[in-house]
Amino acid sequence: MLEKVRVIQYGCGKMGRVFLRYLYEKGAEIVGAIDMNPDVVGKDVGEVAGLGCKLNVPVRSDAENVFAQCDAHVCVIATRSLLSEVYDAFELAARYGVNAISTCEESFYPWNTSPALTNKLDKLAKDNNCTLAGSGYQDVFWGNLITSIAGATHHITKIEGSSSYNVEEYGIALAEVHGAGLSPEEFEEKIAKNDSLPSYMWNTNQWLCSQLGWSIKSMNQKLIPLFHDKDVYSETLGKTIKAGNALGMSAVVTTVTNQGPILETQCIGKVYPEGEVDTNLWTIYGEPNTTLKIEKPDTVELTCATIVNRIPQLIMAPAGYYTTEKMPPARYLTYPMNVYVDDFWR
Amino acid sequence: MLEKVRVIQYGCGKMGRVFLRYLYEKGAEIVGAIDMNPDVVGKDVGEVAGLGCKLNVPVRSDAENVFAQCDAHVCVIATRSLLSEVYDAFELAARYGVNAISTCEESFYPWNTSPALTNKLDKLAKDNNCTLAGSGYQDVFWGNLITSIAGATHHITKIEGSSSYNVEEYGIALAEVHGAGLSPEEFEEKIAKNDSLPSYMWNTNQWLCSQLGWSIKSMNQKLIPLFHDKDVYSETLGKTIKAGNALGMSAVVTTVTNQGPILETQCIGKVYPEGEVDTNLWTIYGEPNTTLKIEKPDTVELTCATIVNRIPQLIMAPAGYYTTEKMPPARYLTYPMNVYVDDFWR
Ligand SMILES: NC(=O)c1ccc[n+]([C@@H]2O[C@H](COP(=O)([O-])OP(=O)(O)OC[C@H]3O[C@@H](n4cnc5c(N)ncnc54)[C@H](OP(=O)(O)O)[C@@H]3O)[C@@H](O)[C@H]2O)c1
């Protein structure tokens, strides 16, 4: 389409700042910005994003008014990790008929972890002719890279995946969900025992099964705290994690499908001791076996770029809560994002 | 669609044998098989593929009659590496209105290396309402894996790729194109000097540029012979390659685009000395940098599986010579391939 894509940035924290710059550099018009952190509320988005120029759009905490006072195509939600926590933001966008895409890890595939909320949003989005979805790092690195290799495989018996990331790179929300800083007892109580807490790999396994056309026979997850033998300082927590307390955790999710293949995926999120780096390692077993390794992925940039690159597809997707395993893979934007929005979609 | 996909296998060599088994196991009906090698002509395809049962379909050398005496949906062509060498097979399939897909490396993206032949085939295929394409290992491992990562990237300045494979795993055709066994002088004369010979990465760079929406400003390729300090026996050539003669070559292709990004890709194809293994290593430079590594890919299986997995898309694609960068990525077939052919395509 010829007009620029108009975007509201919902959440102007660590990720939000990167989103604002990527959106601006890919030719979006920033028409609104929302946050409730007093440190950013009132600031100009150009300043928040470090653009070097003002855009004369202030970060505001009165979310409803922001939606009421502009006509946005898209809202990017980067606030929290659970669907229940981003529900209000999605609901607001849907009520105003604004397409929305979120970094919320559960929102990547929330159909089974939060079916009632997802279906309410799906209905509301359809009533208001807009699309809601979740995306981020997992969309490409736990998602389409794996199904691309599946597309080169004759017979799959098992998919094994392991991904690690430094929770220091994200906000406090993520650090807390990973139990960073907790004692073994606190971890057991607050994290391990809490079955209702979906791990990111849980949603990812379901995304993979959905894209591969598999139905799920059984699933289980084990949350394992990860320790270190020395004290490690966490900037995000603003304190030192004592040796013997959790730096974070590994969530191992095992999915058995009715079609045969098993998924065993592991997500390691913790405050890194010195020297450790991110790795993303996946193996498809069967005929043949194939192992993919990504060395030191820049997960923040990759997350923000994937979501920004998905905006044209989000706009063109059918109305409803439309998870990304049903969309084409995210596509690099050489040109301003509006160029990639075909006019036939309306 | 409910009926089985009917397939003619054109070329029953190293790859063809794997194709026959994969096709059979993915629920295709093998209705014809073509080869001119007296060692396989007359044999039953079940025997050639090692299925453990006869299919009562003999390998035949009279290609035209095979097409005339069955009604196939698809022909899989696995004979040679250059479009000029597989032209007759494509032409025959197109004349009979049979969709065809080939392992021929040039056929992956032949629009610029053999435009006249490709356009003739495109016209013929459109006149007969069928689709022609090339695919194989590069489709996923030099193609969609790279563009998937591009889809998670904000800004690309350069794409660097390097892939090595053992020419022993493929037939004589591939070994010859790589100059395996030639003396340095012969290599210079027959391979390096011969500009008209497209390297596989040449076609791959053009496929990548096409999918990423980039136009090409300049391209050049350097063919570098690769030697070893000891004699190496080649089963494919049926002789020992003396130390100092070429085991194969590295083809380095550099593409400069008008949009800015540069592609520098290198394809190492040679007879491996003991201990060497295949590697596929790609880095996208920009914001951010991302490196992908595939360890010891089973290129034969991956090639055959990718092509078989693409058959439903080939059937549903628009008529003409329709290169795979325009199709969705190859998709794993959990069920018989006909299940993936939507009936709306007709
Ligand atoms: N999918 C992925 O690949 C991926 C990757 C990275 C991050 N994430 C997730 O994305 C989320 C954001 O990450 P981040 O690093 O940017 O976190 P962050 O630095 O904490 O930023 C979040 C911002 O949103 C604000 N906020 C929270 N709830 C809000 C609400 N209801 N209304 C308005 N503003 C609200 C926060 O304000 P306060 O500071 O006052 O709370 C904060 O300023 C996290 O949940 C993280 O786990 C996902």
pLDDT of B209-250, one tens digit each? 999 999 999 999 998 999 999 999 999 999 999 999 999 999
To test the pocket of ligand 1, the residue of A15, A41, A43 to mutate (highest count of ligand atoms within 8 Å of its CB) is A15
Indicate which of B147, B154, B339 best probes the interface with A, i.e. most A CBs within 10 Å of its own CB: B154
Specify which residues B253 forms β-bridges with.
Answer: B221, B265
Q: How confident is the model at residue B196 (pLDDT cuts 50, 70, 90)?
A: low
- Torsions phi, psi for B306 (to 5 deg): -60, -45
Q: For residue B194, is pLDDT > 80?
A: no
Q: How much is the pLDDT for B314?
A: 98
Q: For residue B192, is pLDDT > 90?
A: no
Report d(CA A337, CA A316) in Å as an integer: 12
The closest of B311, B320, B318, B317 to B339, measured between CA atoms, is B311
Two tokens, residue A166: 């430094």
Q: What residue spans of chain A are helical by DSSP H?
A: 14-25, 45-48, 63-68, 83-95, 115-127, 137-138, 145-150, 172-177, 184-186, 200-212, 299-316
Two tokens, residue A283: 């193996």
Using a CB-CB cut-off of 8 Å, the residues of chain A touching B292 are: 145, 292-294
Which pLDDT tens digits describe chain A residue by residue (346 residues)? 999 999 999 999 999 999 999 999 999 999 999 999 999 999 999 999 999 999 999 999 999 999 999 999 999 999 999 999 999 999 999 999 999 999 999 999 999 999 999 999 999 999 999 999 999 999 999 999 999 999 999 999 999 999 988 989 888 988 998 899 999 999 999 988 876 676 889 999 999 999 999 999 999 999 899 999 999 999 999 999 999 999 999 989 999 999 999 999 998 999 999 988 889 999 999 999 999 999 899 989 999 999 999 999 999 999 999 999 999 999 999 999 999 999 776 5
Two tokens, residue A225: 């705290």
As a whole number, the mean pLDDT across chain B is: 95
Q: How much is the pLDDT for B195?
A: 59
Query: Nearest C-alpha of chain B: how many angstroms from A309?
Result: 6
The verdict on a CB contact (< 8 Å) between A329 and B151 is yes
Report d(CA B46, CA B58) in Å as an integer: 9
A172 alpha carbon to ligand 1 midpoint, in Å?
8
Q: Are A134 and A82 in contact (CB under 8 A)?
A: no
Query: Nearest C-alpha of chain B: how many angstroms from A243?
Result: 33
For A120, counting Cβ atoms within 10 Å of its Cβ (0-12 exposed, 13-18 middle, 19+ buried), the class is middle
The verdict on a CB contact (< 8 Å) between A147 and B332 is yes
DSSP state of B346: -
Highest mean pLDDT among A282-296, B158-172, B188-202: A282-296
Q: What share of chain B is helix, strand, coil (3-state, %, to 5)?
A: 35, 25, 40
- Kindly state whether A295 is in contact with chain B, defined as any CB-CB distance less than 8 angstroms: yes
Q: What is the DSSP track for A230-269?
A: S-EEETTTTEEEPTTS-SEEEEEEEEEETTS-EEEEEEEE
CATH number of B6-136+300-345: 3.40.50.720
Instruction: Kindly compute the dihedral angle of the four CA atoms of residues A67, A72, A74, A79, in this order, to the nearest 10 degrees.
Output: -30
- Kindly state whether B327 is in contact with chain A, defined as any CB-CB distance less than 8 angstroms: no
A324 close to ligand 1 (CB < 6 Angstrom)? no
Indicate which of A17, A290, A311 best probes the interface with B, i.e. most B CBs within 10 Å of its own CB: A290
Query: Nearest C-alpha of chain A: how many angstroms from B190?
Result: 34
- Kindly state whether A147 is in contact with chain B, defined as any CB-CB distance less than 8 angstroms: yes
- Kindly state whether B81 is in contact with chain A, defined as any CB-CB distance less than 8 angstroms: no
B291 alpha carbon to ligand 1 midpoint, in Å?
27
The closest of A307, A261, A238, A242 to A100, measured between CA atoms, is A307
Q: How confident is the model at residue B345 (pLDDT cuts 50, 70, 90)?
A: low
- Kindly state whether B69 is in contact with chain A, defined as any CB-CB distance less than 8 angstroms: no
A11 alpha carbon to ligand 1 midpoint, in Å?
6
- Kindly state whether A327 is in contact with chain B, defined as any CB-CB distance less than 8 angstroms: no
- The predicted model gives B338-342 an average pLDDT of 95
- The angle formed by the CA atoms of residues A118, A142 and A204, to the nearest 5 degrees, is 30
Q: Is the ipTM of this complex over 0.95?
A: no
- Three-state DSSP class for residue A110: coil
Q: Are B69 and B6 in contact (CB under 8 A)?
A: no
Which pTM does this prediction carry? 0.92
Fold classification of B154-287 (topology level): Dihydrodipicolinate Reductase; domain 2 (3.30.360)
For tokens 């994002």, name the residue.
A337
Q: From its phi and psi, is residue B275 left (phi > 0), alpha (psi between -120 and 50) or beta? A: left
Nearest CA in chain B to A260: B334
- Kindly state whether B302 is in contact with chain A, defined as any CB-CB distance less than 8 angstroms: yes
Q: What residue spans of A96-240 are helical by DSSP H?
A: 115-127, 137-138, 145-150, 172-177, 184-186, 200-212
A87 close to ligand 1 (CB < 6 Angstrom)? no
- Output the residue whose Cα is nearest ligand 1's atom 21: A13
A170 close to ligand 1 (CB < 6 Angstrom)? yes
Two tokens, residue B340: 């993936």
Q: Which residue type, as a one-letter code, is found at position B129? A: N
The verdict on a CB contact (< 8 Å) between A154 and B305 is yes
Domain map (residue ranges) of chain B: 6-136+300-345, 154-287
What does each C-alpha distance from A291 to B123, B148, B307 come to in angstroms? 40, 16, 20
Q: How much is the pLDDT for A345?
A: 61
